[in-house]
Amino acid sequence: MSKRPAALWVLFGVLLFQGISALAPGVMLVVDPSGALLGMSPAALQGGPFHDYLIPGIILAVVLGLGPLLVAAGLLLLPDWPWLERLNPRKEMHWSWPGALLLGLGLMIWILVQVVIIGPGSWLQPFYFAIGLLILLLCFAPSARAHLRFWRRHR
């Protein structure tokens, strides 16, 4: 297997950061759906689809926490997992590539929906939107794409 390019290592690091930074607050919202553990007010959810933070906490912990950790592990180890390969729409690429794309896009959508429902309120919103955009840009780095396509040809 060829040496991993720098873009892939940066993508790995950004996904690891995203996963770790979303997991703890997501779990905290599941444990206490009132949001009090994070200093969040249930009043912020008025007019939105949720009456408490349970569902957002589950999404944060599972999709935006565990998801990036799984994809980061996939980028590093390049495992051939049939259950994820079946979900892969780009069969010429390792499953971690479309997984990272979906996570970057999903994070950006998560932030946009958050701003629509509760309004702009923190520097974290543009920061995590930028993280999602960075994930997308790194996925399209030619060296990262070539490496993940190379894996497919040489497994």
Dist. CA 142–CA 47, nearest whole Å: 43
Secondary structure (DSSP) of 138-149: HHT-HHHHHHHH
pLDDT, tens only, 86-121: 898 888 899 999 999 999 999 999 999 999 888 898
pLDDT at 153: 53
pLDDT at 46: 85
Site of tokens 């702009």: 120
Residue spans of the domains in the chain: they are 20-77+84-153
pLDDT at 89: 87
What one-character DSSP code corresponds to residue 36? G
Dist. CA 22–CA 29, nearest whole Å: 11
* 29 and 35 Cβ atoms separated by less than 8 Å: yes
pLDDT at 152: 57
Q: pTM here?
A: 0.91
Dist. CA 68–CA 38, nearest whole Å: 22
Tell me which residues of the chain have a pLDDT lower than 50.
1
pLDDT at 145: 92
